[in-house]
Amino acid sequence: MTPLRIASFSADGSGGNPAGVVISDHLPDPDQMQSIAAELGFSETAFATPEGDAWRVRYYAPVGEVAFCGHATIALGAALGAQKGAGQFDLNLRDAKITVDAMQESGVWQAALQSPETWSKPLDDELAVQLLSLFSLTREDLEPMLPPTLAFAGVKHAVLTLKDRTKLAQMSYPFEPMRALMAEHDLVTVSLLYINGPRLFEARNAFASGGVVEDPATGAAAAALGGALVDMNWDGLRTGGSFEISQGVDMGAPSRLTVNVTGRPGASVRVSGAVRWM
């Protein structure tokens, strides 16, 4: 049972977010999956086994199970494509059923996930202040066009948008207090965004809840953001469309995520990107 190591949302053959992928004829027991994920040390590892015409999938971070992980789904999709051929794969997650498509373009494997259904609402004021304080930020640092938001696409994400790109580059926080606050509010990541254009965002994602300081590419958060932007009718996305997220640049792991939305509030969101084998 040798884990594959695949970086998802790679930009021009470099960067991306490393994920572990284990495809086997049965799922290891939870303790073994946890041990493998901790040993790999990636933000998540996907475990998959055949289940009828679909695949049963579980995700583990170094410190526990995660209900849904976007970049590990992209890595799994590419791995299944390489083994089984390009096409669509049905995935039965712990709490939802989704799909992932695998395809090759110019010899490079790519994948596109269809997220769980989405929802969003304004982020609680007190929680927003607590998060800002941990990032050494204030309300004056926030971009008013995109207010603090709680967004969901399989798991919950807090979204804070900054008006100064320099503040994004300086992102830091005390790990244990952030992990405790995220656990208290069932947050999987905290997304810091910078708007580089109506359809282009730069992102950094704190992932203390999973035992990792930061993700260089976060597909689940991208899907949740897509749902939230539809809810807000951001730049006319209620009619459908797409936008791009650049992430990992400040970590030296440039990543690119493409997000497609139908325009229907609450609908599943499509997130796609290229992968590279490590």
Domain locations along the chain? 4-112, 118-277
- State the pLDDT at residue 12: 84
Q: What is the spatial distance between Cα 194 and Cα 170, in angstroms, rounded to a whole number?
A: 12
pLDDT at residue number 88: 98
Q: Which of 210, 258, 260, 233 is nearest to 19 (CA)?
A: 210
Q: Into which CATH architecture does domain 118-277 fall? A: Roll (3.10)
CA distance 165 to 8: 24
Same CATH topology for 4-112 and 118-277?
A: yes
pTM assigned to the model: 0.95
**H or E stretch including 78?**
helix 70-84
**Residue 207 CB-half CA count within 13 A:** 25
For the domain made up of 4-112, the CATH class stated in words is alpha beta
Are 256 and 244 a contacting pair, CB within 8 Å?
Answer: yes
How high is the pLDDT of residue 76?
Answer: 98
Strand 54-61 with 64-66, pairing: antiparallel
Whole-number Cα distances in Å, 197 to 48, 107, 213, 234, 235: 38, 31, 27, 12, 10
pLDDT at 170: 97
From first to last of its 278 residues, the chain has per-residue pLDDT tens of 789 999 999 998 899 999 999 999 999 999 999 999 999 999 999 999 999 999 999 999 999 999 999 999 999 999 999 999 999 999 999 999 999 999 998 889 999 999 999 999 999 999 999 999 999 999 999 999 999 999 999 999 999 999 999 999 999 999 999 999 999 999 999 999 999 999 999 999 999 999 999 999 999 999 999 999 999 999 999 999 999 999 999 999 999 999 999 999 999 999 999 999 99
Report the alpha-carbon angle 84-115-210, nearest 5: 95
pLDDT of residue 1: 73
Q: What is the pLDDT of residue 192?
A: 98
Q: 270-277 and 108-114 as β-strands: parallel, antiparallel, unpaired?
A: antiparallel
Nearest to 138 by CA among 149, 146, 148: 148
Beta-carbon contacts of 62 under 8 Å, excluding residues fewer than 6 positions away, are 37, 38, 40, 41, 42, 43, 210, 211, 212
| Tokens found for residue 35 | 């041990």
